[in-house]
Amino acid sequence: FFELPGGKRLVMMILLAGSETELEPSLRLLTAVQTEVAAMRPAYPKELVVGYTGDIASLVEEHDAIVADIALSSTIVFLLVGGVILVYFRSFRGLLAVLFALAPGIIFTFAIGRLTVHHLNSNTAFLGSIIAGNGINFPILFLAYYRARPMSEGRPLAVLEAGHQALFGTLAAALAASAAYGGLAISDFKGFSQFGWIGGLG
């Protein structure tokens, strides 16, 4: 630590044993220090100011800001996209079907992310909206094919025929998108590499 003459300003440097770019150890260290400070705080004047800076404090603050931004933007996107689908197809059941079909893909994608890159960071946090934005295209196309079937056709047959019509086009589009994302997986830059793994496999 460094202390100015008179003891009115003190700077304490605490180093993390490990990577300071990983959230979990950084959060544990910052929380431990804040707990120690809170326990000692009553013994000092109220005018005393305690501040935290450096890579660890910035990482935790950045993570909290990203989580808040993602929650807000995801809510807005969900409402806007859901509204567009509802207005276009004029069917609440159709909207629910699209969202139900989208959910397993998103869950699977982030499960892959958890296993391969462990967590998202400031470079890859936007992946959720991109994966959802690409993934929702396929159930929308399927629903469009289904709605285009003759009204006299039975539902089981209409579903089967719509799936047959939609399969090859959506499969080709999915493989093309997967190849485009997957090419980034070989990048040395961690953000691009994570984007490639999650986007390509998801």
Contact residues for 161 (Cβ-Cβ < 8 A; gap 6+): 145, 149, 153
Q: What percent of the chain has pLDDT over 90?
A: 5
Helices vs strands, H then E, count in the chain: 7, 2
pLDDT, tens digit, for every residue of 21-58?
677 788 888 999 999 999 998 988 888 899 998 888 88
User: Is a pLDDT exceeding 70 seen at residue 68?
Assistant: yes
pTM of the model: 0.64
